[in-house]
Chain A
Amino acid sequence: MRLIEIFEESISVLKTNGMRTALSALGIIIGIGSVITLMTLGQASQQSVKNRIQSLGSNLLIVRPGAQRSGFLRGSASGNTTLKYSDAKAIEASQRINTIQKVAAEYSSRTQLVYGRNNTNIQVSGVTGEYFDIRNITLTVGSPITEQQNQNMEKVVVLGPTVVEDLFGTNVNPIGKSIRINGTSFTVVGVTKSKGSSGVGNSDDIAYVPLQTAQKVLFGVDYISTIYVTAKNDDLMEAAQNQLGFLLLELHNKATPSDADFTVSSQADILETATEVTSTFTTLLTGIAAISLIVGGIGIMNIMLVTVTERTMEIGLRMSLGAKSRTIITQFLTEAVVLTITGGMLGVLIGVGASTIITKAMSLPTAISYQSIVLSVVVSCLIGIIFGWYPAYKASKLQPIEALRYE
């Protein structure tokens, strides 16, 4: 009997028991569907993190307070007060450092912005003159915060587009208008271009004021959150990182790098950590989804065992008509594989559908991973072979007369 005919016959058998087929395939459908969805979501969030970090510029070094730890986890730095504005100025003024180009300092905290009856609670960043340049922030109208404004502690503010909308509504030019930040009145001098919201750390929902204004007028602190430094070119990143590190150690009176109360991280470091974190999550979740595939496989095995018992007479008859053990094995194995592959393909459809919807809803880049689809089909085929083998083998080992007598 040729394989194509065995295949046709499997389909006809599976159709005859439509409801049972559908239910037993459900395990595989759900398993494959969730593996694809989770793999795609994992890759999408990884891509999104990568995109966001790369948009910072590839020659950027970031100095944060606090001992060496993951540069990605912003929240962890908030309690640290070891980094001062003077550190940033010292870096800029240092004669020994010849690898860096620009230096900017930032202090940010959340507070209330009020215009008329509208108010919004957002992140307010106090920044120095080079900040907009280093972070690649462009404006739609007005001008950025300048070093002059920082030196003079002027009460001026550059708003993100979301903030403008929240405070002024749409189609209003806010330039020259006066808003209250934390009770103090500020003049709006610019609006940044939208970078698109992307979950955490929305760069459109932010307000920029001069650093010294933020420190002394708004929040009353003497420390800063971050120093941004650009290297002269990409090849000098490591040298710049080292020079920065040693200079800051000296400034902070620390003897060895293990005593450091700050962290200098480069783009590559951040990228690496971020990718590591997301890929660990992806692997973990996919692993959990894979367990459901095994459960689905056991379901298939169960139903195939029932089928073999139910069709004992048929197996006996087929043997009496000349079917060899090999043919019987092939028949039942094909049935199991057809079942799992059909389930697998439906699972792929569901997985692709679900991940498209979810990535759209979370505005992540939709990148269906094709290798996950190929992998799913291969895996469902393997599940069919592995879990279909025992029932098929059992069928082939039946004795023809005993099988014929079976009621």
Chain B
Amino acid sequence: MIEVKKLSKTYSNGGVETQALVDVSFKVEKGEFVAIIGPSGSGKSTLMHILGALDKPTSGEYILNGKNVENMKKDELAEIRNKEIGFVFQSYNLLPRMSSLKNVMLPMAYGGIPKKERIKKAEKMLKVVGLEDKLRSVPNQLSGGQKQRVAIARALTMEPAIILADEPTGNLPTNQSNEIISLFEELNKNGHTVIIITHNDDIAKKARRVLTLVDGRIVSDQKNI
């Protein structure tokens, strides 16, 4: 499903080169639940952006569903982000003036799905995350956990191959954080491939596989039993 081979990313800033990723290689199969952990500055976010087709690697290969992503053009990458990847961000990134329903409908609008179908699907996805009574609420009227659930519903609507979550509980209190984690577990049980980047060891324990990054290299790849 996902395969990265010798992935490297180098940033150069005023002549000083920083290696964010060095020869990272791994595979993720369909239905896996992977946590990527590591200290800050270890290259987690860079890896996440490359996996999410938001950024390009300096060298190496990234194969998603059999397609080489690293050489794609801007519009092709937009298509990949729309159809193959569901993003969940630390700061939710909902559009403040739109209702939950409209926020969830947004990726489908870019995917060219007819409006009627969009509304139906968005309602369904908000039900999946337990927010069927908050369809018309705007983000300001929701708690952090509820906002993150809207964001997860948004990530699910295009039925992507993988769900990428970047510190999804980073801004949440413990009880809401646990709810979000159980939601990811449930999604994984229902067959979704989930990759979560986190600082949180509790989350890492719940994942079935943990990749540890240090200084841009994978230092361990463990399966939780």
Q: Which residues of A contact B (CB under 8 A)?
A: 1, 5, 12-13, 16, 313-314, 317-327, 400-401, 404
Contact = CB atoms under 8 A, between A and B. Distances in A.
A5 B82 contact: no
B199 interface: no
A13 B75 contact: no
A65 to B, nearest CB: 76
Nearest to B83: A322
Given A319-B78, A321-B82, A321-B154, A404 B107 contact: no
B107 A322 contact: yes
B75 A324 contact: yes
B4 to A, nearest CB: 18
A401 B154 contact: no
Contacts of B95: 314, 317
A404 B97 CA distance: 18
B79 A322 contact: yes
B117 to A, nearest CB: 13
B97 A400 contact: no
Nearest to A319: B78
B52 interface: yes
A401 B49 contact: yes
B54 A320 contact: yes
Interface residues of B, number: 25
Contacts of A317: 93, 95
Given A314-B95, A322-B83, A324-B78, A5 B115 contact: yes
If over half of A's interface residues share one DSSP class (helix, strand or loop), that class is named, otherwise mixed; here it is helix
Contacts of A1: 109-110, 112
A321 B87 contact: yes
Nearest to B93: A317
Contacts of A327: 110
Contacts, number: 59
Nearest to A13: B97
Given A314-B95, A404-B54, A321 B74 contact: no
A13 B95 CA distance: 11
A12 B95 CA distance: 12
Given A401-B49, A404-B93, A322 B75 contact: no
B124 interface: no
Contacts of B112: 1
Interface in B122-173: 154, 158
B96 to A, nearest CB: 9
Contact of A320 (B81, B83, B158): B81
Nearest to A6: B109
- The 5 A-B pairs of least Cβ separation, nearest first, read A322-B82, A322-B110, A321-B107, A324-B78, A1-B109
Given A313-B93, A321-B82, 11 more contacts: A5-B109, A317-B95, A319-B54, A319-B78, A321-B110, A322-B110, A322-B158, A323-B78, A324-B75, A401-B55, A404-B89
B97 A320 contact: no
Contacts of A323: 78, 110
Interface string B39-64: 00000000001001011000000000
A16 B78 contact: no
Nearest to A327: B110
Given A321-B82, A400-B54, A16 B154 contact: no
Contact of A321 (B49, B55, B97, B106): B106
Nearest to A397: B74
A382 B137 CA distance: 38
8 contacts: A1-B109, A5-B109, A320-B93, A321-B82, A321-B154, A322-B82, A324-B75, A404-B89
B111 interface: yes
Contacts of B83: 322
A13 B54 CA distance: 26
Question: Which of B87, B109, B158 lies at the interface centre, i.e. has the most chain A CB atoms within 10 A of its CB?
Answer: B109
B54 A16 contact: no
Contacts of B54: 319-320, 400-401, 404
B110 A12 contact: no
Interface in B72-121: 74-75, 78-79, 81-83, 87, 89, 93, 95, 97, 106-107, 109-112, 115
A404 B106 CA distance: 16
Contacts of A325: 74-75, 78
Nearest to B94: A317
Contacts of B111: 322
B122 to A, nearest CB: 13
Contact of B78 (A314, A322, A401): A322
A341 to B, nearest CB: 22
A123 to B, nearest CB: 69
Contacts of A319: 54, 78, 81
Nearest to B112: A1
A334 to B, nearest CB: 14
Nearest to B109: A1
A385 B5 CA distance: 45
Contacts of B49: 401
Nearest to A17: B97
Nearest to B52: A320
B126 to A, nearest CB: 16
